[in-house]
Chain A
Amino acid sequence: QKEVEQDPGPLSVPEGAIVSLNCTYSNSAFQYFMWYRQYSRKGPELLMYTYSSGNKEDGRFTAQVDKSSKYISLFIRDSQPSDSATYLCASYTGNQFYFGTGTSLTVIP
């Protein structure tokens, strides 16, 4: 079992839709979670980070962690074509980062 599991999609939504991206994790020691956005043929770019005890909102993006079910979510409101990318969830413990496989998102104008 991988440390972080993520549905690879692909996910396709119309412009303006609310997008929900999800991951699960297996290691109870994980306390710190991140979401990265990766455009094709580029390196990942940090979008948001959050801790296991709460939610975080930044503009159109909201990150949530449900510690009891080991579930991580990223919500994108009013999705835009420029949001089309692969979204990677990640967690961190003991000097190591663990990444999901990424979910490919396409926002259709």
Chain B
Amino acid sequence: DTGVSQNPRHKITKRGQNVTFRCDPISEHNRLYWYRQTLGQGPEFLTYFQNEAQLEKSRLLSDRFSAERPKGSFSTLEIQRTEQGDSAMYLCASSSPPRLAGGRVRETQYFGPGTRLLVL
């Protein structure tokens, strides 16, 4: 399977614990995105990497959240001191660099299956 993979698929933790999720993007993709999705909502942007550089972070990403992509391949998202409000699906997506064709920019993201987090 050459798609985006995420591990674990499900995580149940107690409030105050730390959790770490992993994302393995499509191998030739140099861009990697993390999103959070709650029930009945669309994905909300958290952060994005181009290769190993973290280029943008949403203000949704509090200081309890940290993401890394040390070698420009897989990425990890860590949540420290989890709170019940952190319960959500955490989605990873990857893409290749935007293409410019005929004056139009196009970037296509491919999503992983997500990690569903439940904080008790």
Residues of chain A having any CB pair with chain B under 8 Å: 4, 6, 8, 31-32, 34, 36, 41-46, 49, 51, 88, 90, 92, 95-102
B65 contacts the other chain (Cβ, under 8 Å)?
Answer: no
B106 contacts A49, C-beta separation under 8 Å: yes
B111 contacts A43, C-beta separation under 8 Å: yes
Please report the number of residue pairs spanning A and B whose Cβ atoms sit closer than 8 angstroms: 60
With known contacts A101-B40, A102-B42, A43–B91 Cβ distance under 8 A: yes
7 new A-B pairs (CB below 8 Å) besides A41-B114, A41-B116, A102-B40? Answer: A8-B40, A32-B104, A43-B114, A45-B111, A49-B106, A97-B45, A99-B42
Chain B, range 7-40, C-beta contacts under 8 Å to A? 33, 40
| A to B CB contacts below 8 Å, 14 in the list | A4-B42, A31-B104, A32-B104, A32-B106, A36-B111, A43-B112, A44-B91, A44-B111, A95-B48, A97-B43, A98-B45, A99-B42, A99-B44, A101-B41
Q: Which B residues touch A46, using CB under 8 A?
A: 108-110
Instruction: Provide the main secondary structure of the chain A interface.
Output: strand
Cα–Cα distance between A6 and B104 once the two chains are bound (Å) = 25
Instruction: Provide the main secondary structure of the chain B interface.
Output: strand
B104 nearest in chain A by CB position: A51
Q: Which A residues touch B44, using CB under 8 A?
A: 99
With known contacts A43-B113, A43-B114, A44-B91, A101–B106 Cβ distance under 8 A: no
Cα–Cα distance between A28 and B72 once the two chains are bound (Å) = 33
With known contacts A43-B91, A102-B42, A97–B109 Cβ distance under 8 A: yes
B45 contacts A96, C-beta separation under 8 Å: yes
